[in-house]
Amino acid sequence: MSKNLRKFVNPRFVRTADLHLLRRLLGPHAAQLKGLDMAVFDGEAPNIIRALEGFFAGPDESYPEGLVLDLHRIAELGNRNGLRILQEQAHRQGVIIAPPGDDEVRHDPKHIALRLFLEHRGMFDAATDMLSCTSLSSYGEYAGAEEGIEPRMDGETQALFRERAEKLLEADLRGRFCRVGWYDDDGEINVVVTHGAPMKATEVIEDGADRIIRFREAEHAVLSYDPVSGRLKVGGFAKARRSELAEIFAGTMLGLPGFFGAADAQDLYTLGPIERSAFGFTFTHAFDVGIRRVHITKVQVDRIGTDARSGKTRALHSITTDDFRLCALRRLGEQAPGIAFGTDWRINHVVLRVEFDVGEARPTRVTIKLKPPSIAMFKRHQFEGRIMTLLRRNGLMVDRDPGRAALAAE
């Protein structure tokens, strides 16, 4: 069993977990368990615990593949971040996570994840889907032709989206399996497409002999659409195929083929304000009292020129500067004061660190890589809205509505 799972199914967890729940977890795999007789659950609690501790401390071949998969899914949500996601889904579906009088020991995220996996599978699956959304850092982003276009969310459009997504997956040699989850998250529509990866073949040893097994791992494509801004994010999918998935969404859910296909659909971010301020740029964040600090930890600048062989304009060479304590931009200015942006130098990308006050001594830090015209890379968790506001208020997002941009600047 992997190191992460051994941390999850540790002796403390086994000693404090609800033994009835563990019996239900192991029951479907009883015929394939090695080193554990399910009859032990009919005995006294101390004997059950000793047997379980021995089983989970045993060799990897003792655990059926199905059990390992179940444990991985529970472990993914059996932590602080997972508990937050489970709580959000429970609130939406009216599920009580911790009934009154419940043993406080079992309020541990691991115990809650185990119970919800067994007793509220639909809600647990929804939380797994949302975890896929928050764990991604790299998205393809598209600005739609208009703002304020609401999707048509009904059985017909959802079935059509799934049908077209299946054809795309099959054409990409990923099989036809396709499970789609639809979630409204504070006005933003999240679509999680669970699908197969390309086929794998590997050699395994079983019962003293070797054999070849073929399988597909499960992967997740995530689409998040904000009707107010008309923006769509597509992640967890091959970059070459993201625009096709965006087109499927536009044609089925919006009824507007080509909605995300404009030439400037991915012209979303700019480093113009930083280049204009040169090495003196500082972030404004007083509008968000929960942000303690924003600083640039890394900057890459390119010298632009004409390639002698091709005659094309390209980056001739680059300079990258890091400073995790102060400001990489100022450090670059000290090291290369002759650089002048707007002539033959431009900023390729910057890396920011934003510190959020979460009521503890140490702030929560989020790292963002910003590379125009279309890349803002960071973990899309509970701070996403505030980070996007920070970028917009500092002029680093391309606003397709000049009137609104002027208002924001004021």
Instruction: In whole angstroms, give the CA distance from residue 93 to residue 121.
Output: 12
Instruction: In whole angstroms, give the CA distance from residue 293 to residue 19.
Output: 47
**CB of 339 within 8 A of CB of 317?**
no
Distance in Å from the first CA to the final CA of the chain: 57
Say what the pTM is. 0.72
**CB of 386 within 8 A of CB of 356?**
yes
Q: Could you give the 3-state DSSP secondary structure of residue 215?
A: strand
Percent of the chain with pLDDT over 90: 33
**CB of 1 within 8 A of CB of 63?**
yes
Tokens of 96: 């009580």
Percent of the chain with pLDDT over 70: 92
Beta-ladder partners of 188:
185
Greater confidence, 244 or 92?
Answer: 244
User: Which pLDDT value is given to residue 407?
Assistant: 40
Cβ neighbours of residue 331 under 8 Å, at least 6 residues apart?
A: 321, 322, 323
Query: What single DSSP character describes residue 154?
Result: S
**CB of 225 within 8 A of CB of 189?**
yes
Q: How far is CA 283 from CA 318, 327, 370, in A?
A: 24, 11, 14
Q: How far is CA 388 from the centre of its chain?
A: 16
* pLDDT at 105 exceeding the cut of 70: no
User: Which pLDDT value is given to residue 359?
Assistant: 85
Q: Could you give the 3-state DSSP secondary structure of residue 244?
A: helix
- pLDDT category of residue 100 using cuts at 50, 70 and 90: low
Each residue of 183-231: pLDDT tens digit?
A: 887 788 888 888 888 888 888 776 778 888 787 777 888 899 999 989 9
User: Which pLDDT value is given to residue 409?
Assistant: 37
Neighbours of 176 (CB within 10 A): 11
CA-nearest of 70, 84, 74, 90 to 13 is 74
Longest dimension (CA), the chain: 82
User: Which pLDDT value is given to residue 234?
Assistant: 92
The residue written with tokens 């975890």 in the block is: 131
User: Which pLDDT value is given to residue 313?
Assistant: 80
